[in-house]
Amino acid sequence: MKRTYETIIRMALVLSVLAGLATAQSTINGAVTDVTTVTGSPLSITGNNSTGRLGSTTIVSSTINGAVSDVTTVTGSPITIVGNGSNARIGSVEVQNSTVNGAITNVSTATASPISVVGNGSTGYIGGASVLNSRVNGAITSVSTATESPISVVGNSSGGSIGGVTVQNATINGAVSDVTTVTASPISIVGNGSSASIGGTAVTGSTVNGALTTVTTVTASPVTVLGNNSIGVIGGIIAK
């Protein structure tokens, strides 16, 4: 019995390293911090509606009374997913239908860690932050660095991004900053109704009581999208 208990704990620790932090319908009276370092550990998944994550923090339908921080460093650890409706992610912070009374900080660094996703309705992300249908009483800061970590997605209604901040139907009482640096990390999307982006800040149907700052530096990292009704974006600020 003791041996079984130890095995379960070890499995939980490994899953924590791979998947980062996720909270749903919770109240946390304190800071939320995830620090994930992955080296030489490929992640491969075959199956529909699958998820592969190295680090990252996701908060859904929850209240966080404290700062939220995610620091993910990945080296030589590619993610490969084959399946429709699937998601691959390195780092990032995602907040949905929640209240965060504190700053949100994302620092994601990917080196020689490509993401490859084959499947319709699938996504591949490196870093970035997104706030949907939520209130954040604090600043949002995202720093994403990708080196030799391309993203390839084949499938309709799919997406790929490196860095960037997305705010949709939300209220942010603080500044929003995104710093994305990409080197030799192209994004390639093949599929109709798909999107690819590097850096940038998009604010839709939201109120931001603070400055918006975006710094995007891209070197030898082309964005290629093949498909009807598709979008490719590098840097910039969109508010609508």
- pLDDT tens for residues 177-221? 999 999 999 999 999 999 999 999 999 999 999 999 999 999 999
pTM exceeding 0.95: no
Cα–Cα distances (Å) from 10 to 5, 13, 15, 153, 162, in that order, read 9, 5, 9, 33, 31
Other CB atoms within a 10 A radius of the CB of residue 68 amount to 28
pLDDT computed for residue 96 by the predictor: 94
Average confidence (pLDDT) over 150-166? 93
Q: What angle do CA 87, 93, 96 make, to 5 degrees?
A: 85
* Distance between CA atoms of residues 72 and 131, nearest Å: 19
Average confidence (pLDDT) over 63-89? 93
pLDDT computed for residue 164 by the predictor: 96
Residue 89 pLDDT exceeds 50:
yes
Q: Domain boundaries in the chain?
A: 2-239
Handedness of CA 172, 177, 111, 72 (dihedral sign): negative
Max CA separation in the chain (angstroms): 58
pLDDT digits (tens, 9 = 90+) for 91-145: 999 999 999 999 999 999 999 999 998 999 989 999 999 999 999 999 999 999 9
* Distance between CA atoms of residues 204 and 90, nearest Å: 24
